[in-house]
Structure 1
């Protein structure tokens, strides 16, 4: 598999691991509109074999998002860099640079960890922990957009939670797509950070996937989040497959 092929597989895997309950196919583009605060599920995305110049669908996309009370947002992966120029010329400003990184699970060594629980569905305690660990996203975590999103995942999945002295201190979940594990929603309770809990939780998911014959793992991390990137490097995420950023519709006012 070439680097571009792997990057595209990761694109598809990440979309399936964080699905939008509402989406539209628009002339070869995937328009996602979940509501809530998450940009990934409220943006226009290119498809592997689709067009690369979004100019002809900008007006239609703006109309659809306007009907939902949102501004139009285009997600621009580095493997589709041709999107940038047309959007910039229409006044769309760039924001939110993120990296998609990869780890080879052949290199992953893990011992069974009795403190990491795995479940096919998120418990109420897991969802409550998500809210506590992401206070700025609490509406998404506790309300319908996030619940609808995790409820829409149809591929093999596992929700991981690490407990210490009975307290849930770290969470994450993983989804398997085409021999690739995607790790999402990694978080540690504010009172338990910098103690390796997130690393052990993610490691538990990696071990789960490896036991099922999965060969690689990817995740997406904000480009300037140095602490998170250091954590993932310690787990073997040493390859950057691609980056992406967003282009947001200029203020109509």
Structure 2
């Protein structure tokens, strides 16, 4: 029987998949194939949720055919949550080494979530043009990428909140997005306007989402992914009590 940490890790993985969905998905013998016109690796990669009946090499070739059909590179998202190890099969199939190693951090929301000290952030219950336009500007999206990103946010099927920490002049200084599923809120898309960095705005935006998730969605925990080498991001999240690393994942892509 899985211990409590393993059960929690699987619940967090599920919350992350639902909180950052794909525009199209295919189930293939225990693997989840996700397609979103190339916008973000997470929404355009393969997650191994449980071992299938096929041999890994055969399964890899079947998955590659789907990505070729969609005009996308075949990318595997390999998580420590998965019980299936296909590293050798990927080596033999010509996949490169792991890249973009990321940590999934977790915190309990039983204690009162922290609140910012530099202003008041607020959470919108739906995606509107002002939030998305600010997000697209901070991320420097091209028109095509903005269209794909807007569609991905529109594909979220669980309760979602869109946080804004405004500057003194009313401009969005920092943004964050959260989606709540099965008692866990997954935080994504945290971004700060360079003109307002180091003023606590990202802290405020995430804090507002934690409060929204706990008070309005009944969430008991919160999770978020962060690139393992992102020292600034990890420092921010430590200050927000994300002290437990629940899992790690990295990507492997087919070498041309």
> TM-score normalised to the size of structure 2?
0.90
Partner of residue 200 from structure 1, selected from 198, 204, 207: 204
Partner of residue 4 from structure 1, selected from 6, 20, 44: 6
Q: Per-residue CA shift, 1:158-197, capped at 9, x if unaligned?
A: 1111112211111111111111111110010111111110
Q: Per-residue CA shift, 1:5-46, capped at 9, x if unaligned?
A: 111111111110111111111122111011133101111111
Aligned match of 1:97 = 101
User: 1: CA distance between counterparts of 2:66 and 2:225?
Assistant: 27
User: 2: CA distance between counterparts of 1:6 and 1:115?
Assistant: 32
Aligned match of 2:153 = 150
User: 2: CA distance between counterparts of 1:59 and 1:109?
Assistant: 46
Aligned match of 2:52 = 51
Q: In the TM superposition, what is the alpha-carbon distance from 1:117 to its structure 2 partner?
A: 2.2
User: 2: CA distance between counterparts of 1:119 and 1:66?
Assistant: 38
Aligned match of 2:76 = 74
Matched-pair contact (CA < 8 Å) for 2:39–2:145: no
- Structure 1 unaligned segments of length 5 or more: list them: none
Whether 1:21 and 2:26 are equivalent positions in the alignment is: no
Whether 1:85 and 2:85 are equivalent positions in the alignment is: no
1:145-224 equivalent positions in 2, closer than 5 A: 145-164=148-167, 165-212=169-216, 213-224=218-229
Aligned match of 1:249 = 254
User: 1: CA distance between counterparts of 2:102 and 2:193?
Assistant: 23
User: 2: CA distance between counterparts of 1:110 and 1:250?
Assistant: 44
Q: Number of matched residues?
A: 248
> TM-score normalised to the size of structure 1?
0.91
User: 2: CA distance between counterparts of 1:36 and 1:246?
Assistant: 14
User: 2: CA distance between counterparts of 1:79 and 1:244?
Assistant: 8
Matched-pair contact (CA < 8 Å) for 1:130–1:141: no
